[in-house]
Amino acid sequence: MKIGFIGLGNMGAPMAANLASAGHEVIGFDTVATPDGLALAASASEAAQGADLVITMLPNGEILRSVAAEILPQMKNAVLLDCSTVDVASARSVAAQAADLGCAALDAPVSGGIGGAQNGTLTFMVGGPESAFETAKPLFDIMGQKSVHCGAAGNGQAAKICNNMILGITMIGTCEAFALADKLGLDRQAMFDVVSTSSGYSWSMNAYCPAPGVGPQSPADNAYQPGFAAALMLKDLRLSQDAASDADADTPLGKAATALYQTFVEDEGQGTKDFSAMLPRFSARSRE
């Protein structure tokens, strides 16, 4: 395929490189980044021109809408594959705009972080037409290990924000429990050995343990340098609460997790730390 790739940051650049390594013709564009080894266009519309499929990896819904308005008229029945994490309304607006111009749009946010982008092990949650999903499926198989078609336009974003709301909540719970275990005199390894094989099992505990030296290697073992930055978790939690408000859904734990990460990121200046760095925060605090 001839692929335009717009957004070559920490996630987009390795995704584009994996597609190029697999033999696809990839032409990239970014307003800032100029990664080595990729053919680069002078504009987003140039990257989209003549492409069979255009992939976007962008910071937010406002930028996605702006880029879509620029590139869709150039696409001529190509598929727009947006891998950004944005609000559901923006995903559905772009899909409607694409349909009006005779194109198909997929919202396909990812899970797996920078390591998953580099290693081609991402998970894609995809909303949009089944036929477009089948067109993009060979690319998902290069960039990731799993892709799930979640239904109509916007449902990929819905799946992503619901997943990450669970992740934010369970990480806070895991960090709180370790901090409590410390103050009760329970060894962290013993805590892990019990919880990781009991009813407290979770991805936050078993695969991404926030306690250094316990469980598999994680950002906690690298001074909480981010695999998934706390600022990005806050972004996703805010998206979940915006969606909950629009849908009239009661999400008290999601709301509480959003407030805690807002304090951690904005008031305490820890946005560049991994989102699991909540553990040293709780460890240093006394009960209010």
What amino acid positions are annotated as catalytic residues? 160
What is the Cα–Cα distance from 224 to 112, expressed in whole angstroms? 17
Distance of alpha carbon 200 from alpha carbon 120, whole angstroms: 30
DSSP 274: B
Residue whose entry in the numeric block shows the structure tokens 């239904």: 151
Measured between alpha carbons, how far is 153 from 95 in angstroms, rounded to an integer? 6
Distance between CA atoms of residues 215 and 196, nearest Å: 9
Give strand ranges (E) for the chain: 2-6, 25-29, 39-40, 53-56, 79-82, 104-107, 110-111, 122-127, 144-151
